[in-house]
Amino acid sequence: MAEITSHINNPGYSDKSTPPELRKKVRLSETIIHGFLFLFGSISILTTLAIIYELLKESWLFFREVSLLDFFTGIKWQPQIGEFSVWPLVNATLMTSLIAMIFALPIGLMIAVYLSEYATPRFRSTLKPVLEVLAGIPTVVYGYFALTFMTPLLRLIFGAQVVQIYNTASAGIVIGILILPLVTSMTEDALSAVPRSLREGAYALGATRLETAIRVVLPAAISGIAAAFILAVSRAIGETMIVSIAAGAGPNFTFNPFNPAETMTGYMVRISGGDLSYDSIDYNSIFAIGLLLFVLTLGLNIISQQIVRRFREVYE
């Protein structure tokens, strides 16, 4: 294509050197500030490195004494007799988390459906702050609630002989209450992100409200909901105060939710809370368990983020 250029004679490239007044100035403060801000940004990296370094270092000391095989097989954690199988702790963690999920996922999902598909805007705008308040209550308060309310309630229902004072059921249910706001608000966000046009399309075909909600909106939001659920599992696994108050102290390999059993986090609190000597196997063991916990929760969080990212691409 013929370029029609300026009506004035076309200037050639200029190679005049920059005059002093246009030259870059040395702005020391800008450089220093930039440096500091970069440093601040990197502190997060340093934190991560510190976490990983400490976990690996102390775990390594632990695994010099205890073989990985022993750690991952067997069913006893009894340091006094040199039994270091992590399964009783993992099992208790899974028990409390599972109970929490059984409670929180269906209820959270249903509240979210109700909020996004049925509730009036006014009800929604009053319930949302309530959820925020619930989410802001410290977990130690939930721990107190588990021990002084949920456990007596369970004992009332199932009998005091059946339900021990410390038990995983009570802790699990209360963890469920704890993560309910998280599940609800994330699920609700996913449901509200489904475009109106999709709902209208279903209504126009003669679908009822329920059918629209269950067959159209829910499937469209499924990845967002999955992300919420996974994040909730990760929260439940990492939850500490509720289990250390209500689930019992002392590793115990049991599938009975009414028996006491110590979780990974509960163990870490109990061991480190006392006067702990730094060079003991006890000290090292909390890092080995911490490492396991870190890997578990990090993995779940990454999966959840990955799902959210893909989910976002669908609607943008």
Partner 1 sequence: MTSNGHLTNGQYAIEVKDLNIYYGDFRAIKNVSLAIRSNQITAIIGPSGCGKSTMLRSFNRMNELVPNSHIEGQVTFHGYDIYANDVDPVEIRRRIGMVFQRPNPFPKNIYDNVAWGAKINGYKRDLDDLVEQSLRQAALWDEVKDKLHQNALSLSGGQQQRLCIARTIAVKPEIILMDEPASALDPIATLRIEELMRELSRNYTIIVVTHNMQQAARVSDDTAFFNMDEDRAGYLVETGPTSEIFTNPKDKRTEDYITGRFG
Partner 2 sequence: MNTIQKELVGSVNSNEFDYRTEARHRAGKFWLNIFRLSTLIGILALFALLYNIVNDAFGYVALEYKVNPASLTSTGAPLETLEKADLAAIIEAKVSAGLLRQLTRDRPLTDYSKPQLLDIIEENILKPGVKETWPLFTSLFQSSRVINEAQANYPEAYLEFRSWLSWEFIVSPQDSDPIVAGIRTAILGTLAIISIVLVTAFPVGVGAAIYLEEYADTRKWHNRAIETNINNLAGVPSIIYGIVGLAVFVRALEPLTSGAIFGALDGNTTANGRTILAAGLTLTLLILPVIIINAREAIKAVPNSLREAAYAIGATKWQTIWFHVLPNALPGILTGTIIAISRAIGETAPLVVIGASTYITFDPENLFSKFTALPIQVYQWTTRPQDVWRSLAAASIIVLLILLLSLNGLAIYLRNRYSRRNW
Q: Give the whole-angstrom CA distance, residue 147 versus residue 125.
A: 32
Binder to partner 2 among 64, 209, 215, 312 (CB under 8 A)? 209
State the nearest-atom distance from the C-beta of 28 to partner 1, in Å: 14
State the nearest-atom distance from the C-beta of 291 to partner 2, in Å: 9
Three-state DSSP at 221 gives coil
Q: In sequence order, which residues have a C-beta less than 8 Å from that of residue 291 and are 6 or more positions away?
A: 55, 56, 59
State the nearest-atom distance from the C-beta of 164 to partner 2, in Å: 15
DSSP 275: -
Nearest in space to 249 (alpha carbons), one of 234, 233, 263: 263
Nearer to partner 2, 74 or 79 (CB): 79
State the nearest-atom distance from the C-beta of 102 to partner 1, in Å: 47
Residue 99 interacts with which of partner 1, partner 2, none, CB < 5 to 8 Å by class: none
Choose the binding region for partner 2 from 2-10, 92-100, 155-163, 261-269 (rule: CB under 8 A).
Answer: 261-269
Residue 50 interacts with which of partner 2, partner 1, none, CB < 5 to 8 Å by class: partner 2
Q: Give the whole-angstrom CA distance, residue 236 versus residue 99.
A: 10
Q: In sequence order, which residues have a C-beta less than 8 Å from that of residue 57 and are 6 or more positions away?
A: 287
Q: Give the whole-angstrom CA distance, residue 152 versus residue 271.
A: 27
The interface with partner 2 within residues 11-50 (CB under 8 A) comprises 27, 29-30, 33-34, 36-45, 47-48, 50
Q: In sequence order, which residues have a C-beta less than 8 Å from that of residue 191 and are 6 or more positions away?
A: 112, 113, 116, 117, 217, 218, 221, 224, 225
What is the sign of the dihedral through the CA atoms of 36, 38, 44 and 45? negative
Residues 100, 173: contact at Cβ < 8 Å? yes
Choose the binding region for partner 2 from 66-74, 82-90, 114-122, 195-203 (rule: CB under 8 A).
Answer: 114-122
Q: Give the whole-angstrom CA distance, residue 170 versus residue 99.
A: 9
State the nearest-atom distance from the C-beta of 17 to partner 1, in Å: 8
Nearer to partner 1, 18 or 44 (CB): 18
The interface with partner 1 within residues 16-55 (CB under 8 A) comprises 16-19, 21-25
Binder to partner 2 among 60, 72, 149, 255 (CB under 8 A)? 149
Nearer to partner 1, 23 or 196 (CB): 23
- Spell out a b/e string for 206-218, using b for 16 or more CB atoms within 10 Å of the CB, else e: ebeeeebbeebbb
Type of residue at 308: V
Choose the binding region for partner 2 from 88-96, 194-202, 220-228, 289-297 (rule: CB under 8 A).
Answer: 289-297
Q: Give the whole-angstrom CA distance, residue 217 versus residue 213.
A: 5
State the nearest-atom distance from the C-beta of 69 to partner 2, in Å: 24
Residue 61 interacts with which of partner 2, partner 1, none, CB < 5 to 8 Å by class: none
Choose the binding region for partner 1 from 7-15, 42-50, 94-102, 248-256 (rule: CB under 8 A).
Answer: 7-15
Binder to partner 2 among 93, 223, 234, 252 (CB under 8 A)? 234
Report the interface residues with partner 1, using CB under 8 A. Answer: 1, 3-8, 10-19, 21-25
